[in-house]
Amino acid sequence: MIHATSQRRRAPRRGYALVFVILCATLFTLISGTLLNFVVQYRRQCRYEMLRTQAGWCAEAGLERAWFQLSRDPGYGGEVWVAEVEARANVRTARIEITVVDVGERSEKRQLNVRARYPSEGPDFAVRNKSMEVQIPISGE
């Protein structure tokens, strides 16, 4: 009789291990999903920062190009420059829009405005705008 009573006490404990394993597996799956989501978001943010930095460098190059063109030709009004950029062993293009605006009544001051989009094609891109005011020498001075 004692033997039958001990079996009755053990009977309600059956299945607890299975419930424990299912709870642990569920917890592991939730934590893994959260970590995977974090890694994916971090990777996207790093990629965007890389594109944004590259677009900033393209905008700086656009300012330098505009300054050079303006020093050679005071009538330079700007252009759309499609530049090839080598990054991570890939060659991509950047679209750099340069505009030159007269500042005030004095004709020797110009404002250079640059808008750079990198890469110029595709769904993932970054845009940076930069501007700079310069003074050019007027011929005859």
Tens-place pLDDT, residues 54-112: 999 999 999 999 999 998 998 899 999 999 988 777 888 999 999 999 887 767 889 99
What residues does 84 pair with on adjacent strands?
A: 93
At residue 75, the pLDDT reads: 86
**What ranges in the chain are assigned the alpha helix state H?**
2-10, 16-72
140 is a domain residue:
no
Cα 62 from chain centre: 19
- Domain encompassing residue 119: 2-135
Instruction: Tell me the C-alpha distance between 50 and 43, whole Å.
Output: 11
Is the pLDDT at 9 greater than 90? The verdict is no
Q: What is the DSSP string of 108-141?
A: TEEEEEEEEEESSSSS--EEEEEEEEEE-PPTT-
Which residues sit opposite 133 in a β-bridge?
A: 111
In this predicted structure, which of 3-7, 32-36, 47-51, 137-141 has the lowest mean pLDDT? 3-7
Instruction: Look at residue 141 and tell me if it is in a domain.
Output: no
Report whether pLDDT(4) > 70. Answer: no
Structural domain count of the chain: 1
49 occurs within a structural domain: yes
Q: What is the pLDDT of residues 109-138, one digit of tens each?
A: 899 999 999 998 888 899 999 999 998 866
Alpha-carbon span 45 to 5, nearest angstrom: 63
